[in-house]
Amino acid sequence: MVWRVADWFTLAAIFLLLTVAAALVRCWRGPGPVERIMAAQLAGTGVIGVAVVLGAARGDAAFLDAALIGTLLAAIAVTAFVRGTARPGDRSEDKE
């Protein structure tokens, strides 16, 4: 099989999926809520990377719109998370 550059991009997509899986191991282990959200964030960035790479491999610019939406909304879950319990007098949740 002759390796074209597009194939390398598909291979890169597979590699990125594996890094996402590695990040999710941290999400599984925790220990705290911040780690879990961080890992979800990294998984999101990995998925954006996959969308960019697949878009390049298939030459489809619409894939980049998916990546763009992903980056625009990437911070929203983190923003919702940090406001959740960071108020004085609220119970601490790091007993997990």
Residues 1-40 touching another protein, rule: CB under 8 A, are 5-28, 30, 32-40
* Smallest distance from another protein to CB 3, Å: 9
* Smallest distance from another protein to CB 59, Å: 7
SS (H, E, C) 8-21: HHHHHHHHHHHHHH
| Residues 63-92 contacting another protein, CB under 8 A | 63-92
* Smallest distance from another protein to CB 31, Å: 9
**Phi, psi (rounded to 5 degrees) for 73:** -100, 5
User: Is residue 94 within the footprint of another protein (CB under 8 A)?
Assistant: yes
* Total residues binding another protein (CB under 8 A): 89
* CA pair distance 7, 69, nearest whole angstrom: 25
Within 13 Å of residue 40, how many CA atoms lie on the same side as its CB? Answer: 14
* CA pair distance 75, 70, nearest whole angstrom: 9
* Smallest distance from another protein to CB 57, Å: 6
